[in-house]
Structure 1
């Protein structure tokens, strides 16, 4: 089984968060028919967030050899006999030219193609958008076989919003700007009006069960047992300096952010080393945001940092779990506005439509008491209904298009 190496092999830090499998090469055939198969090319490409054909074609360009890419059988071949070390060194060059951000040397970039057919690396870390060396032969292949990036998803979402606006359906604003702006927005008014009609007595602070379940000690113990979100819950406890608790990675991470609110995104990323991304998202939602999350535009300002960790649906669910704890434990005054908070996350492309709809289907006691979790979803019902209608209308339009 192949080992793993840092994506930037010039970085010797064993806690460097960006890893990839070592290249494996297998020489087959003899004479003029000799060839090198790279059996783990798809795993390597996945770690680099690039189509598997790109590094394979790059090898061919650099070695002057023909390549064969069979995605159905997951078989990638470079003609000739090539050692794994040689291919690994060539891969370093590919990473430097087509993966790493020229500005911050971070590998979390997307390849984008502009209208003038210039290929750029769009960095999720620092926001830089720098062109690659268009003189390289691989650029021709990339232009003919463009990557599927998040940009395409965003365009699709904007098209959907535009269509709904044309059909007379209210469209959410691009950002959750401030309370007055939200109140002027038709969808927001609808959310607030429908949420106001929902029963709120189940969130009575004087209710014995609720008070008992959400006390600092009870929350800390429950979240510690689940090993999710316990860092922030523990921060709310009164002055417990137990060394074992302080050694918990989540505790250390949450404490670092709380004590260094002006820390740069990179410093926060470095502090999260060794912690699963989904758990980082739970903590960030509770520590980065406060009662001014909407009025101070905290979600748009923190979106670049959050995108670094929101790599899949599991991480997005972790972010939603952190929001649940934010409005149910840390800042209960935000509960009536939780739908607007989710809309802000959606507008910033931090949480996908499918994840939001799946989250809204069933209350869970993973992050808060089930009764409170249910109420949160009820408060979000107008927004979730809007999303569902958008999904259904899009499906109907696709069916009509197919029939035509």
Structure 2
């Protein structure tokens, strides 16, 4: 089957957004003649739209009746219509209901607002653009809203209308609250030294590190390699594609951070928060939660407890929602659990305390995270290990809550 660019005005043969070339098949004769689009489902999947939307769009534009049979995968427009004519109409549909009104990228979702307006939410530039509510298709979309994507589904290319239950299967197991494991973590964490101020009793911990020149070089190489690998491993979300190629904005951001952070390839002594945020803006990802994951994994090193306050301004600026906070916590899991194991056990509480004091992490989000052993970002054993290390900070939060409640009672 022939494949064309979603934006057919783009002639670049390496354009990443592609779709099958629309095909037609004319059936019947006389008053019963009709045009079948046999690959409508494939086209709709590439556009991340239900196949009923372009089919209905054709009907409205041509003034013809349409027939939709999802079960048998048949999408029909009454009358005889040539493929070229329908392809031009498909281009109009893409322009009006798929492409971002700002950057013209097709990586958008349709969202119906509370006031009834329909917007195109762009995952590339973060902008939201209205669709023309005067078109008759908007009424159909309002009555037949896009199916909600299952948690963890891929981005563009997901078959529209795919069963949420089937796609969501297994997600619960990743996020399930393993009560017994959580209790065990809390029990084992009691012996981990940390003062209520959030500082570790480092004087009680003895460290033995090979400081030979060869060992230092080997650890540096492993750390850089691990950091690059960890930063590039992005978990699939409900609005992003799984896996990022080297030309994706996240990969570019990752490589830039690794090169420009102190000790990076560029030999920089310092990197300002404003410069980091400006780079994220240039790539159009300053509002993306995955950018927070890349930021922490690529920017922080084994000295993360001291580096978090240093880059606190940009970390706080880019962490704007609960989803961003969860991505930050996932980055800490990978940073401490995989890239820099030396951060376990004493470094994790310090990192969390630093982020908490910057108002980057909210109390409820951290406490919920601490009780749920997950394999979303790392394997389950590593997840357990990181949460065990974090338990002293979580205990401090709980005790701080208890103290606040006692003070409130005293004021009554």
Paired residues of 2:186 and 2:388 also in contact (CA < 8 A) = no
When Rg is computed on C-alpha atoms for both structures, the one with the higher figure is 2
Give me the whole-angstrom Cα distance separating, in 1, the residues matched to 2:392 and 2:43: 43
Specify whether residues 193 and 375 from structure 1 end up closer, same or farther in structure 2 by C-alpha distance, changes over 3 A only.
closer
Specify whether residues 296 and 223 from structure 1 end up closer, same or farther in structure 2 by C-alpha distance, changes over 3 A only.
closer
| Cα deviation, residue 213, structure 1 | 12
| Cα deviation, residue 291, structure 1 | 2.0
1:327 corresponds, among 336, 356, 359, to 336
Paired residues of 2:26 and 2:80 also in contact (CA < 8 A) = yes
Specify whether residues 205 and 262 from structure 1 end up closer, same or farther in structure 2 by C-alpha distance, changes over 3 A only.
farther
- Could you list the per-position Cα deviations for residues 322-349 of structure 1 after superposition, in whole angstroms to 9, with x for gaps in the alignment? 54333354693752267798997999x9
Matched, 1:375 2:385: yes
- Could you list the per-position Cα deviations for residues 206-243 of structure 1 after superposition, in whole angstroms to 9, with x for gaps in the alignment? 4669x89982323556788xxx44879xxxxxxxxxxx
Equivalent residue, structure 2, for 1:86: 85
Paired residues of 2:55 and 2:75 also in contact (CA < 8 A) = yes
Q: Secondary structure at the match of 2:11?
A: coil
Give me the whole-angstrom Cα distance separating, in 2, the residues matched to 1:382 and 1:25: 65
Equivalent residue, structure 2, for 1:336: 349
1:291 corresponds, among 308, 330, 341, to 308
Q: Secondary structure at the match of 1:139?
A: helix
Equivalent residue, structure 2, for 1:255: 255
Equivalent residue, structure 1, for 2:30: 31
- Could you list the per-position Cα deviations for residues 340-394 of structure 1 after superposition, in whole angstroms to 9, with x for gaps in the alignment? 98997999x9xxx9xx764179836xxxxx7x5541143468999xxxxxxxxxx
Give me the whole-angstrom Cα distance separating, in 2, the residues matched to 1:150 and 1:382: 37
Equivalent residue, structure 2, for 1:184: none
| Cα deviation, residue 12, structure 1 | 3.0
Equivalent residue, structure 2, for 1:2: 2
Equivalent residue, structure 2, for 1:244: none
Equivalent residue, structure 2, for 1:167: none
Aligned residues: 299
Equivalent residue, structure 2, for 1:218: 222
| Cα deviation, residue 124, structure 1 | 3.7
Specify whether residues 121 and 223 from structure 1 end up closer, same or farther in structure 2 by C-alpha distance, changes over 3 A only.
closer
Give me the whole-angstrom Cα distance separating, in 2, the residues matched to 1:322 and 1:223: 11
Q: Secondary structure at the match of 1:215?
A: helix
| Cα deviation, residue 295, structure 1 | 4.9
Give me the whole-angstrom Cα distance separating, in 2, the residues matched to 1:68 and 1:327: 55
Paired residues of 1:21 and 1:43 also in contact (CA < 8 A) = yes
Q: Secondary structure at the match of 2:35?
A: strand
Paired residues of 2:2 and 2:20 also in contact (CA < 8 A) = yes
Equivalent residue, structure 2, for 1:100: 99
Equivalent residue, structure 1, for 2:402: none
Matched, 1:301 2:318: yes
Equivalent residue, structure 1, for 2:134: 135
Higher helix proportion: 1
Q: Secondary structure at the match of 1:54?
A: helix
| Cα deviation, residue 141, structure 1 | 0.8
Q: Secondary structure at the match of 2:375?
A: helix
Structure 1 portions without partners, runs of 5+: 154-191, 233-247, 271-278, 308-315, 365-369, 385-404
Paired residues of 2:108 and 2:122 also in contact (CA < 8 A) = yes
Specify whether residues 281 and 297 from structure 1 end up closer, same or farther in structure 2 by C-alpha distance, changes over 3 A only.
closer
Paired residues of 2:126 and 2:284 also in contact (CA < 8 A) = no
Aligned 1:225-244 pairs, distance under 5 A:
228-229=229-230
Matched, 1:146 2:145: yes
TM-score by length of 2: 0.54
- Shifted more, 284-293 versus 138-147: the winner is 284-293
Specify whether residues 383 and 196 from structure 1 end up closer, same or farther in structure 2 by C-alpha distance, changes over 3 A only.
closer
Aligned 1:357-372 pairs, distance under 5 A:
358-359=374-375, 363=379
TM-score by length of 1: 0.55
| Cα deviation, residue 132, structure 1 | 1.6
Give me the whole-angstrom Cα distance separating, in 1, the residues matched to 2:111 and 2:16: 24
Specify whether residues 89 and 337 from structure 1 end up closer, same or farther in structure 2 by C-alpha distance, changes over 3 A only.
farther
Give me the whole-angstrom Cα distance separating, in 1, the residues matched to 2:320 and 2:278: 15
